[in-house]
Amino acid sequence: MLKKDLEERDVNSASARNQIHEQLETIRRQKFQIENLTKEMETRNTNGSSAKIQEHVGTIQDKQTRLDVLEKEIMETDRKSRIEGKSEQEHLEKIRQQQVVIDTMEKDGKD
């Protein structure tokens, strides 16, 4: 019984680490896209309608900041859970909550 519990915990732990790496990769992709959009908007800015473009760049930079904060939170959560030995269930729940934020930001970016 104990061996089965340990094996299940290892699987859950590996799953949590995989989810963390996927989230970080998603964040890095979004940050790269934001950087490219910012450069494109700055280039377009020389062609007129600067107020709208500046507003869009501001929105993009706000998302970049939120992604930076989220990335740090994810890494900190992972680090703390390993140090504190939190239950895998608590750890997975925190990851799911962070994934909802990422998914919402992706959806907002497509609209």
CA-nearest of 13, 11, 10, 27 to 73 is 27
Task: With cut-offs at 50, 70 and 90, classify the pLDDT of residue 99.
Answer: confident
Mean pLDDT of the chain: 73
DSSP category for residue 48:
S
**pLDDT higher than 70, residue 24:** yes
Helix (H, G, I), strand (E, B) or coil at 22: helix
Pick the more confident residue, 12 or 48.
12
Please report the sign of the dihedral spanned by the C-alpha atoms of residue 8, residue 14, residue 20, residue 26.
negative
Q: Where are the alpha helices (DSSP H) in 46-87?
A: 50-84
Query: What are phi and psi for residue 96, nearest 5 degrees?
Result: -60, -40
- Read off the pLDDT of each residue in 66-92 and give the average, rounded to a whole number: 73
